[in-house]
Amino acid sequence: MPLITYREALNQALDEEMARDESVFLIGEEVGEYNGAYKVSKGLLDKYGPRRVIDTPITELGFTGIGVGAAMAGLRPVVEWMTHNFALLALDQVVNNAAKMRYMSGGQFKLPIVFRGPNGPAEYLASQHSQALQTYWAHVPGLKVVAPATPYDAKGLLKSAIRDDNPVVVLEGELMYAWKGEVPLEEYLVPIGKADVKREGKDVTVVTYSKPLKVVQEAAELLASEGIQVEIVDLRTLRPLDEETVYRSVRKTNRAVVVEESWPVCSVGSYVAWLISKNCFDVLDAQVEMVASEDIPMPYNHTLELAAQPSVAKVVAAVKKVLYLGE
Amino acid sequence: MAKDLNRTLLKKMLYDMMLIRHFEEKAGQMYGLKKIGGFCHLYNGEEAVAVGSVAAIDLSKDYLLTGYRDHGHALACGMDPKAIMAELFGKITGCSRGKGGSMHLFDAEKHFLGGNGIVGAQIPIATGVAFAQKYRNDGGVTLCFFGDGAIHQGAFHESLNMAKIWNLPIVYICENNQWGMGTNFRKVSSVDDFSLLGTAYGIPGKQINGMDVIEVYQEVSKAVEQARHSGLPSLLEARTYRYKGHSMSDPAKYRTKEEVEEYKKQDPILILKEKLLQEGILTEKEYEKYDSQIQAIVDEAVEFAERSEEPALHTMYEDILVE
């Protein structure tokens, strides 16, 4: 299997879906001539032309709304947000229109639209450019939200998102674009709403998604050397949640840690932790632990910003805590 | 000038305006009886804008979107008064199955895409519909309605810029009823003449008399023609007036009774009726016939809404996602 980057995987997904369906188009800031702020759309303007790869002015609310209208009129827009930070300017169009148009019309319309771009902390970018905003989207009924952590999942989930008849928010990551992974040559889809067990183990379940998967995998390696077998459940989709895969794992290990890089208050992770506490109460041998980002705006200083995020050490400590293995 | 136009069209415009007026009067009554709840924004006085505009488009390929004062546009697009009234009553037979209410009327088949409760949010959406029409090169045009309050939203300015750079087939129609809720538009606007706001984006603008349905029809027709054949967006400011408060909960104490009475003298229905009578296009008898027909239609709509079932509880979980 070829080893490609997360960025290339997304690019392949866009390319394949645009080739397959003429109603798919890409719209956003710098997606055309600049080939994408993070080069995800590289080569697509040359291949599909300015009718289908559309550079916009810097108007997140405006072009996101244009996507919503185009979807209502039967096209399949892929709206690229340069980052999710800037998508806050478009929140109204996603929350009040994309997510609710079908409901408010009694099912008369479908909204086949994808909103995608990098989310989550990067490096040296300070508070406005380094934050994980998935809660904003995952909170809203009427949206689907996916958060792939590997090139394989990124390609398969983006293809599924484009083919879905509902609005789908795709959470990518600036630091993940260069990550490499195996992606098959032949076509495949990753279904929305299915979690994936990324590592099997019998002692503790660690539920995670998106970029922290890497930290969790490193922690699992370290713990394995100490004889602790961690099972990693990668949610991949945040809405709708694949609860069953999580519970199946927790019923096996009887212990759970949730790891994510957003703030902990009202987060996806805290919701998952509550679900586990409620639905696996009888089998849990310890309280559910959480590792999230610190509840602070992201500082610029590198030492501080690293300390604010989930780390291998924090995950190891949380796993040991649910095993009652005090340091 | 009325006699240069098709007689059937003129009579239809009169009929449609009368239907809206009666419907809104009845909706107001039903609100008073608590059959309708929440926010309910009536269109009395502004009928000429929606009716004259819809007469200028072809809804087999054109689309229309508006804000929350949407009953008039829905009726002008030919939506069934029964389905609208039932929606206001929150019944399962309503156009949105009782989930949208007054501000969220829709009819996909009639190309009426709402109904939007967030001031100005429909402007980018309508621009996107026009984008899709251009993308498919299907010869369609989109009419986008909004009020004098919405014109100051960023969504308006962002949309006009993109409509121009991509030459989208859209006509932006500002229904300036002069009061954004309780605020006079002059107090919160840098210019009195909204048609000027298109010039910053190279979009031609024109002020028109929104109380005169013939003028609305003629001016919107020209703008639609330009959009359809030359891909040129345009902006019209239709000066109009709402007789009722902003919504049913607004007694409208911010304006004088004299001001309202002054505008009622320019009533769009009266103006057209007088014109058609004078020019021998309409007889008093025909007018009375329209009136009683419409009365019956509106009564039937209320009866239908009354008779219809409440939505079953399980329906609240439906229509969220396409399965």
The CATH number covering residue A95 comes to 3.40.50.970
Neighbours of B317 (CB within 10 A): 8
Q: Are B207 and B195 in contact (CB under 8 A)?
A: yes
Same domain, A84 and A224: no
> Is the residue at A188 inside a domain?
no
Tell me, what's the pLDDT at B42?
95
Which DSSP letter does residue A240 get? S
Q: Decide if B233 is inside a domain.
A: yes
Among residues A32, A18, A170, A31, the alpha carbon closest in space to that of A94 is found at A170
The pLDDT of residue B251 is above 90: no
**Structural domain range at position B194:** 2-305
Per residue in A248-290, pLDDT (tens digit) is: 999 999 999 999 999 999 999 999 999 999 999 999 999 999 9
pLDDT cut 90: percent of chain B above it: 92
Average pLDDT, chain A: 98
Domain tally, chain B: 1
Residue of B115, B101, B125 lying closest to A98 (CA atoms): B125
Model pLDDT, residue B1? 55
pLDDT confidence tier of residue B248, bands split at 50, 70 and 90: confident
Domain assignment of residue A75, yes or no = yes
Is residue A211 located within the same domain as residue A112? Answer: no
Classify residue B315: in a domain, yes or no: no
In contact, A179 and A211? CB cutoff 8 Å? no
Claim to verify: residue A122 and residue A242 sit in the same structural domain: no
CB pair distance less than 8 Å for B96 and A108 = yes
Q: Which member of A66, A70, A165 has the closest CB to residue B322? A: A165
Closest C-alpha among B146, B118, B78, B309 to residue A100: B118
Contact A264, A295 (CB under 8 A): yes
Q: Per residue in B171-213, pLDDT tens?
A: 999 999 999 999 999 999 999 999 999 999 999 999 999 999 9
Q: Is residue B316 part of a domain?
A: no
pLDDT digits 0-9 by tens, B127-165: 999 999 999 999 999 999 999 999 999 999 999 999 999
The 10s digit of each residue's pLDDT in B262-307 is 889 999 999 999 999 999 999 999 999 999 999 999 999 999 999 9
Distance of CA A310 to the CA centre of its chain: 16
Record the pTM: 0.96
Whether the pLDDT of residue B61 is over 70: the answer is yes
Residue A248 resides in a domain: yes
SS3 B234: strand
Range in A55-59, A158-162, A165-169, B252-256 the model is least confident about: B252-256
Do A58 and A172 have their domain in common? yes
What SS3 state is found at B129?
helix
Cβ(A286)–Cβ(A323) below 8 Å: yes
User: What are the tens digits of pLDDT across the range A10-24?
Assistant: 999 999 999 999 999
Q: Which residue has the tokens 């599909």?
A: A48
Cα distance between residue B145 and residue B156, in whole Å: 11
Give the number of other Cβ atoms within 10 Å of residue B213's Cβ. 28
Number of domains in chain A: 2
Residue type, B314: H
Reference A291, options A206, A166, A180; nearest CA is A206
Q: Which pLDDT belongs to residue B73?
A: 98
Q: Is residue A189 part of a domain?
A: no
For residues B107 and B82, what is the distance between their CA atoms, to the nearest angstrom?
13
Q: A237 and A153 share a domain? A: no
Answer yes or no: do B121 and A104 touch at CB < 8 A: no
Residues of B in contact with A72 (CB under 8 A): 113, 125, 128-129
Rounded distance between C-alpha atoms, residue B129 and residue B142, angstroms = 7
Query: Which DSSP state fits B112?
Result: B
Dihedral, CA of residue B291, residue B297, residue B301 and residue B304, to nearest 10: 140
* Shortest CA gap A54–chain B (Å): 10
B/e letters for B101-117, b = 16+ CB within 10 Å, e = fewer, are bbbbbbbeebbbbbbbb
Grade residue A327 by pLDDT with cuts at 50, 70 and 90: low
Q: What is the CATH number of the domain that holds B227?
A: 3.40.50.970
Residue from A108, A144, A166, A237 to probe the interface with B (highest B Cβ count within 10 Å): A108
- Locate B317 and state its tokens: 């979980």
> Given an 8 Å threshold on Cβ–Cβ distance, is A104 in contact with B100?
yes
What per-residue confidence (pLDDT) applies to B272? 97
Is B200 in the A-facing interface, judged by CB distances under 8 Å? no
Q: Which one of B125, B156, B157, B160 would you mutate to disrupt binding with A, by most A Cβ within 10 Å of its Cβ?
A: B125
A48: nearest Cα among A72, A68, A21, A70? A21
pLDDT digits (tens, 9 = 90+) for B16-39: 999 999 999 999 999 999 999 999
Q: Is residue B312 part of a domain?
A: no
Give the number of C-alpha atoms closer than 13 A to the C-alpha of residue A110, restricted to the C-beta side: 14
CB-based contact (8 Å) between B104 and chain A? Answer: yes
pLDDT of residue A57: 98
Alpha helix ranges (H) inside B6-141: 7-32, 47-54, 71-76, 81-88, 122-136
Phi-psi region of A120 (alpha: psi -120 to 50; beta: other; left: phi over 0): left
Q: Which residues contact B259 (CB under 8 A, 6 or more apart)?
A: none
Residue A96 sits in the same domain as residue A206? no
Within a domain: residue B247?
yes
Prediction ipTM score: 0.96
Within-domain flag for A190: no
One-letter amino acid of A19: A
Who contacts B264 (Cβ-Cβ below 8 Å, separation ≥6)? B45, B243
> In this complex, is the C-beta atom of B165 within 8 Å of any C-beta atom belonging to chain A?
yes
| B103-116 average pLDDT score | 97
Residue A191 lies in a domain: no
- What pLDDT was estimated at residue B2? 64
Collapse the DSSP code of B33 into the 3-class scheme (helix H, G, I; strand E, B; otherwise coil) and give the result.
Answer: coil
pLDDT at B4: 73
Q: What is the mean pLDDT of residues B103-122?
A: 97
Same domain, A169 and A298: no
What residues contact A71, with CB distance under 8 A and at least 6 apart?
A77, A98, A110, A111, A112, A113, A167, B128
Q: What is the pLDDT of residue B5?
A: 84
Domain that holds residue A39: 3-182
List active site positions of A: 60, 129
pLDDT value for B139: 97
Residues 6+ apart with CB under 8 A from B147: B67, B69, B119, B174, B175, B176, B177, B180
Question: Closest partner residue to A105 among B96, B126, B128, by Cβ?
Answer: B96
Under a CB-based contact definition with an 8 Å cutoff, are residues A126 and A199 in contact? no
A267's tokens:
């987060």
What is the rounded distance in angstroms from the CA atom of residue A320 to the CA atom of residue A215?
A: 16
Residues A284/A254, Cβ–Cβ less than 8 Å: yes
Residue B90, chain A, CB below 8 Å: the answer is: no
Same-domain pairing of A236 and A130 = no
Instruction: Provide the pLDDT for residue A146.
Output: 98
Q: Considering the domain boundaries, does residue A187 fall inside one? A: no
CA distance B258 to A161: 58
Q: Which CATH number fits the domain that encloses residue A315?
A: 3.40.50.920
Match 């020209």 to its residue by tokens: B222
Average pLDDT for A3-7: 98
DSSP string covering A152-165, please? HHHHHHHHHHHH-S
Same domain, A308 and A238: yes
Residue A285 CB partners (closer than 8 Å, separation 6+): A254, A255, A322
Query: Which one, of A243, A251, A249, A250, lies nearest residue A272 by Cα?
Result: A243
A114 and A25 fall within a common domain: yes
Mean pLDDT of chain B: 96
Residue B65 token pair: 């979107």
- Here the tokens at position B42 are 């009536």
Residues A200 and A158 in one domain: no
What digits encode the pLDDT tens for the residues A83-123? Answer: 999 999 999 999 999 999 999 999 999 999 999 999 999 99
Q: How confident is the model at residue B249 (pLDDT cuts 50, 70, 90)?
A: confident
- A97 chain-B contacts, CB cut-off 8 A: 116, 118, 121, 125
